[in-house]
Amino acid sequence: MKPAKLLLCGDVMTGRGIDQILRVPGDPELREPGMRDARHYVRLAERGHGDLPRGVDPRFIWGDALDACTREGPDCRIVNLETAVTTSDDWCRGKEVHYRMHPANIDCLTAAGIDVATLANNHTLDWGTAGLLETVDALAAAGIHSTGAGRDLDRAQQPAIVPLAGGGRCLVFGVGSPTSGIPLRWAAGAHRPGIDVVPVLSTAEAYRLGDRVRDAKRPGDIAVVSIHWGSNWGYDVTDDMAAFARAVIDGGADVVHGHSSHHARPIEIHRGRLILYGCGECIDDYEGIGGYEAFRGDLVPLAFATVDPATGRLVELRVAPMQIHRFSLRRAAPADARVLADTLAEISAAFGTAVAYDGDRIVVSPVSRSMSA
């Protein structure tokens, strides 16, 4: 059976400033403390890098990432969409930051060939139930599978299913943890729209999730558990995060696709299977916002994971180093790519993961301290 290649992106945040430069800008009004207009985020970026275009082609925000995807040829492209796709004005009271993109700009996702958008994160319900339902409908109308949120718990827990060229399928399960700032009241219920929330990162919850994975999985399928978890900043992986991720793999998942942190976090190979603890930001409007420059949140690890569908084991992970510049992804300069490579090598060493940089790509081979079974 032919190995399948997955593109695993971090947070795609196409609201706020990004939405304002797309073809159909939505209402720019914000309800953030001290910030009332989304266009201010555009101006912040322009202060550092010059004027930004308006009404851009939907491919603009992806920039050089499109060429990287053409070269790598992934069979399934997965992102965490951390933005409601809606015109709803029903903003979530008591929450400081709200993201929304006008539904007419959905082509900025189809332009990159996105197959799956996970929605179990802390911005999907920024604009209420109406915003969530409009998001799900807009993605479906655009031919993009979604998972992790829906009209009720049953639909929120349904995996996104993408056929693979070799005859198997890629199953993507989207779940979210309150550790990322997801309000527990956003959890979907039997008759309540919402997201699939894992209330605590316990092995018992991981095994319950594993039961769902095994029930859905068929021979030749690759199962990805995509989880929004953890703090925004810092490289540490908590003991409960690590135990949860390994238990999910033990339960039947082949890949754990973690996100929420604004920069890359460690990589682990557990029993030959890939755990990405944090994929960082992929698309955002953070240029010009200071305070955490040391973490280099502008550097984007575009992860291409080749997985053997017969065994679920990682064949190879190739990371294309990108940089967010003027609201677009560009290929990172060699010095910046080296920073990302060295950071991944340093923070992943404790997990027994060897990270190499060949001057073009960051490469992780499937060798770890926990290869048994």
Q: What is the pLDDT of residues 154-184, one digit of tens each?
A: 999 999 999 998 889 999 999 999 999 999 9
369 found inside a domain: no
Q: Report pLDDT digits (tens) over 296-311.
A: 999 999 999 999 999 9
370 found inside a domain: no
Q: Report pLDDT digits (tens) over 121-133.
A: 999 999 999 999 9
CATH number of the CATH domain containing 38: 3.60.21.10
Q: Report pLDDT digits (tens) over 202-248.
A: 999 999 999 999 999 999 999 999 999 999 999 999 999 999 999 99
Q: How far apart are CA 313 and CA 327, in angstroms?
A: 35
Domain boundaries, position 205:
4-364
Residues in the chain: 373
Q: Report pLDDT digits (tens) over 255-310.
A: 999 999 999 999 999 999 999 999 999 999 999 898 999 999 999 999 999 999 99
Of all residues in the chain, what percent carry a pLDDT higher than 90? 94
3-state SS of 208-271 is HHHHHHHHHCCCCCEEEEEEECCCCCCCCCCHHHHHHHHHHHHCCCCEEEEECCCCECCEEEEC
371 found inside a domain: no
| Contact by Cβ (8 Å): 198, 227 | yes
Region class of 259: left (phi > 0), else alpha (psi between -120 and 50), else beta: beta
373 found inside a domain: no
99 found inside a domain: yes
> In 3-state terms, the chain is what percent helix, strand and coil (to 5)?
30, 30, 45
298 found inside a domain: yes
Provide the domain count of the chain.
Answer: 1
* pLDDT of amino acid 368: 53
